[in-house]
């Protein structure tokens, strides 16, 4: 079992619970509270597709020094409790985020929506449904589209989740040789391998079939919240060129490049958030 104390700054507290976001879906929510009260907005943290909290350890240790952090594990992750024939695409995750904002009673202009990869894309999608405005968005490598090669679509369509152990090595081979720059950031590949090893194959199949038809482009022009887009120019999986296009379409977006996936998952990312908040005051 994960020792959540290892993810906290000294003196910070945590609470681990399941929270209902709809009649059929409950999500794991971990609330980290800093040792001392301050005037910082709280952070609703939405990590990427099947990603593990262990990949965000350094970020959480740094954030919990001076931010209250609500870390949610989204519905496609193995910790979620899902009844019936629920969906696992971007729109469904976005609706969960809206429900969490309401359930947590977050105050207007006093919270940040922070997400990575699929989590960041779900934040963009949910903006059209938010009733409580955030102070800003912080989006780490948001996906505008989710590229799955034809052979991958064929495999996902026909494979039986119980055969996931056979399919998993093919996914890792594809990531290592065609989507990731392992020379620049081998740790990113190892992190994704660990996430795949612990994923729920039934949820994974459901999500994949809905992601490859999704595009965020049509929503971007209407998102006027201040937005910090954090990219990694050497992270080909998150398509740096698409990030530039996204920024050009968003009326109030700022871009920072941390070069590698490792950079976006370490202390400099939190430093960029702190600096960005100062510019908003």
pLDDT at 209 > cutoff 60: yes
Please report the domains of the chain, with CATH numbers, ordered by start residue.
4-147+214-280 (3.40.50.1820)
Query: What per-residue confidence (pLDDT) applies to 251?
Result: 93
| Residues whose CB is less than 8 angstroms from the CB of residue 152 and which lie 6 or more positions away in sequence, other chains included | 174
**Local confidence band at 114 (pLDDT 50, 70, 90 cut-offs):** very high
168 by Cβ neighbours in 10 Å (0-12 / 13-18 / 19+) ranks as: middle
Confidence check: pLDDT of 154 > 80: no
pLDDT of residue 239: 73
pLDDT greater than 80 at residue 18:
yes
The residue-averaged pLDDT of 175-204 equals: 71
So what's the pLDDT on residue 234?
Answer: 79
pLDDT reported for residue 151: 59
Q: What local confidence, expressed as pLDDT, does residue 163 receive?
A: 67
Strands (E), the chain: 13-20, 25-33, 42-46, 69-73, 81-82, 111-116, 136-140, 227-231, 253-257
* Residue 57 vs residue 208, higher pLDDT: 57
At 185, the pLDDT band (50, 70, 90 cuts) reads low
* Burial of 9 per CB tally in 10 Å (0-12, 13-18, 19+): middle
Distance CA 20, CA 113 (A): 19
| CA–CA dist 169, 182 (Å, integer) | 16
Task: Spell out the residues 6+ positions from residue 278 whose beta carbon is closer than 8 angstroms to its own.
Answer: none
85 has a pLDDT exceeding 70 = yes
Say if residues 33 and 68 touch (Cβ distance below 8 Å).
yes
Per-residue pLDDT at 164 = 67
> How many residues can be counted in the chain?
281
Which tokens belong to 158?
Answer: 């026909």
Report which of residues 35 and 207 the model is more confident about.
35
State residue 10's pLDDT score: 93
- CA-based torsion, 86, 92, 98, 101: positive or negative: positive
Rounded CA-CA distance 225/59 in Å is 23
Q: What is the mean pLDDT of the chain?
A: 87
State the distance between the two ends of the chain, measured CA to CA, in whole angstroms.
40
pLDDT at 196: 73
- In Å, how far are 87, 191, 211, 274 from 207, measured between CA atoms? 7, 20, 6, 33
**pLDDT higher than threshold 70 for residue 180:** no
Kindly report, residue by residue over 38-71, the tens digit of the pLDDT: 889 999 999 987 778 888 999 999 999 999 999 9
148, pLDDT greater than 80? no
């Amino acid at each position: 079992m994960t020792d959540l104390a290892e993810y906290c700054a000294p003196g910070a507290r945590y609470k681990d619970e399941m929270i209902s976001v709809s009649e059929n879906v409950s999500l794991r929510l971990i609330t980290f509270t800093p040792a001392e009260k301050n005037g910082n907005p709280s952070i609703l943290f939405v990590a990427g597709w099947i990603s593990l909290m262990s990949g965000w350890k350094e970020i959480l240790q740094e954030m919990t020094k001076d931010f209250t952090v609500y870390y949610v594990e989204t519905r496609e992750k193995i910790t979620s409790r899902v009844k019936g024939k629920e969906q696992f695409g971007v729109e469904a995750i976005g609706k969960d985020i809206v429900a969490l904002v309401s359930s947590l009673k977050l105050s207007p202009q006093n919270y940040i929506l922070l997400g990575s990869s699929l989590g960041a894309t779900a934040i963009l999608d949910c903006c059209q449904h938010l009733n409580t405005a955030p102070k800003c968005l912080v989006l780490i490598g948001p996906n505008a589209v989710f590229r799955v090669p034809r052979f991958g679509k064929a495999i996902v369509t026909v494979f039986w989740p119980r055969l996931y152990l056979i399919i998993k090595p093919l996914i890792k081979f594809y990531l290592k040789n065609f989507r990731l720059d392992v020379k620049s950031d081998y740790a990113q590949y190892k992190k994704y391998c660990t996430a795949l090893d612990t994923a729920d194959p039934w949820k994974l199949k459901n999500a994949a079939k809905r992601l490859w038809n999704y595009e965020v482009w049509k929503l971007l022009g209407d998102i006027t919240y201040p937005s910090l887009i954090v990219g990694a120019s050497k992270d080909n999986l998150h398509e740096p060129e698409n990030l530039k296009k996204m920024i050009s379409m968003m009326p109030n977006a700022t871009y920072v490049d941390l070069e590698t996936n490792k950079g976006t998952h370490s202390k400099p990312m939190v430093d960029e958030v702190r600096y960005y908040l100062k510019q908003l005051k």
